[in-house]
Amino acid sequence: MNDPAPSRAARLADVAELAGVSAATASRALNGSDRGVREVNRVRVLEAAKTLGYTTNFAAQAVAKGRSRGVTLVVKGMPDDFANPITAGVVAAAQRRGLPFTLISAGTDPADLVEAVNLARGHRPEILMIAGGRTKDDATLPALVEALQRYEAEGGRVVLVTQEGLPFDTVAYANRQGGYDMATALVGLGYRHFAVISGLKHGLTQRDRTEGFAAGLADAGIELSADRVLIGEFDRDAAYALTGELLRRNIAVDAIFAVNDAMALGVLTFLRDSGDPKRIAVAGFDDIKALRDVTPALTTVRLPWEQVADEALALALGPRGDEPRTTVVKGHVIVRESTPPVTH
């Protein structure tokens, strides 16, 4: 039952031999794009491969071809329960197209991203995707851009999801617009006194959402003063803590806009933990799945994740453009129970 001698994996040559053909023919039958193999041989090769338990050695294939099939996605931090609907979307989209998918998760430090990208480069995938928001004044940005440009020069395709403004094909969200629309919606529901729970100062995603929100309020004649914008990490726990700080400041607030759903959940949970959850309305951004099981149901800006991943892959698989192209995906406000209409 157990082979005592650590046998070696079956190679193409073994299959060819067993099938009584040359390696070249076996290769064509197994992986080659041409039809140039007689049916008899095709069948023989396939059978031989099966009895030998042959698996294509992708590494060797990649060396020979100079590039390996599939998508490699680099994400910042871990694709945890909340953060990465993108990841799930890309996995699904890649699967749908039969593309091998590889995930590389970088640390949260900007420098880690560059390192992860270089690691990814080492795999020479046809498509290299990078997910996650860009930060302003990022000292490592030139290094990142250089690594990616090199990669493209080497023949690879690069697609950025969310990292707007870099010279590569990009799928971006209409963050500003989403924030603006949310502000409009909340004002329409009757809210007047707002606070924003936002992320890291330099995060462009959160900045745009916040600015859009402020602009929306401004157009409705409401000013969002600086002390009503709280800033911390871009995650749930930070939002939980920030909400506490906000309440301690004791300023009149009837609605809180959190720049993403994970944070909105933190806000919601804090409010609940601290007694009266209904006193303040809460809205988020993203429409992640986890929202479905939360009370009150969370008002948010829904982003079409499947479409995001699909656009990204479409960009990468389509013809290379002369100029970097940017596809902007728009979200739309979904009003739920967490922001009931107010009657003045």
Stretch that binds DNA, among 64-72, 158-166, 198-206, 235-243 (CB under 7 A): 64-72
Q: Which amino acid is at 144?
A: L
Element holding 105 (H helix, E strand):
strand 101-106
Among 1, 2, 6, 35, binds DNA (CB under 7 A): 35
Among 43, 64, 119, 342, binds DNA (CB under 7 A): 64
Position 6 contacts DNA (CB under 7 A): no
Helices (H) and strands (E) in the chain, counts: 12, 12
Binding-residue total with DNA (CB under 7 A) = 32
CB-wise, 81 or 154, nearer to DNA? 154
CA dihedral (237, 255, 298, 207) positive or negative: negative
Stretch that binds DNA, among 56-64, 140-148, 158-166, 199-207 (CB under 7 A): 56-64
Residues 218 and 197: their CA atoms lie apart, in Å, by 18
Stretch that binds its own copies, among 20-28, 61-69, 222-230, 310-318 (CB under 8 A): 61-69
| Residue 84 near residue 76 (C-beta atoms within 8 A) | no
Residues 35 and 190: their CA atoms lie apart, in Å, by 67
CB-wise, 66 or 221, nearer to its own copies? 66
Position 12 contacts DNA (CB under 7 A): yes
Tokens of 256: 């809180």
Stretch that binds its own copies, among 21-29, 145-153, 157-165, 182-190 (CB under 8 A): 145-153
For strands 101-106 and 68-76, give the pairing. Answer: parallel
**Burial group, residue 305, by CB count within 10 angstroms (0-12, 13-18, 19+):** buried
Tokens of 236: 């749930």
Among 118, 140, 307, 326, binds its own copies (CB under 8 A): 118
Element holding 308 (H helix, E strand):
helix 305-317
CB-wise, 84 or 177, nearer to its own copies? 84
CB neighbours of 225 closer than 8 A, spacing ≥ 6? none
CB-wise, 183 or 264, nearer to its own copies? 264
Position 61 contacts DNA (CB under 7 A): yes
CB neighbours of 151 closer than 8 A, spacing ≥ 6? 117, 121, 128, 158
Site string for its own copies, 71-100 (x = CB under 8 A): -------xxxxx--x-xx--xx--x----x
Residues 300 and 335: their CA atoms lie apart, in Å, by 7
Position 63 contacts DNA (CB under 7 A): yes
Question: Could you tell me the smallest distance in angstroms from the CB atom of residue 238 to its own copies?
Answer: 14
22 binds, among its own copies, DNA, none (CB under 5 to 8 A by kind): DNA
The region that residue 223 occupies, defined by phi over 0 for left and psi between -120 and 50 for alpha, beta otherwise, is beta
Residues 274 and 250: their CA atoms lie apart, in Å, by 14
Tokens of 322: 């002369």
> 């596809």: which residue's tokens?
327
- Residues paired with residue 329 on neighbouring β-strands, in sequence order: 173
Among 1, 3, 4, 36, binds DNA (CB under 7 A): 36
Among 140, 184, 269, 307, binds its own copies (CB under 8 A): 269
Question: Could you tell me the smallest distance in angstroms from the CB atom of residue 20 to DNA?
Answer: 7
Binding-residue total with its own copies (CB under 8 A) = 61
Binding site for its own copies (CB under 8 A): 2-3, 6-9, 53, 55-63, 68, 78-82, 85, 87-88, 91-92, 95, 100-105, 107, 118-119, 121-124, 146-147, 149-150, 153-155, 236, 265-266, 268-269, 272, 288-290, 292-295
Binding site for DNA (CB under 7 A): 8-9, 11-13, 20-25, 27-28, 30-32, 34-38, 40-41, 54, 56-57, 60-61, 63-66
